[in-house]
Amino acid sequence: MKNMSVVKKEAKELIDRLPDKITRDDIIYELYVKKKLEVALKATKEGKVESHEEIKKRFIYNCACREI
């Protein structure tokens, strides 16, 4: 977990890169996307992801089970 000063610094840098005409919702969205990408990249590095084929198999299985 990052310490608070690092989090604040990253938030300030992100806000500084955004255009001047931006809403609070836009800022919240940008922070949300940044966090989601960080989590996804960490999961990828740790091998905690499923391949496209695995997802397709699970989807097909779940659809088939609902038809029964």
**Amino acid letter, 40:** A
CB 30 within 8 A of CB 18: yes
What whole-number distance in Å separates Cα of residue 4 and Cα of residue 19?
25
pLDDT score at 65: 77
pLDDT score at 68: 54
CB 18 within 8 A of CB 27: yes
Rounded mean pLDDT for each run of 10 residues along the chain, 68 residues in total: 85 94 95 95 94 91 76
Q: Sign of the CA dihedral 34, 57, 51, 42?
A: positive
What whole-number distance in Å separates Cα of residue 29 and Cα of residue 23?
10
Q: What global pTM score does this model have?
A: 0.67
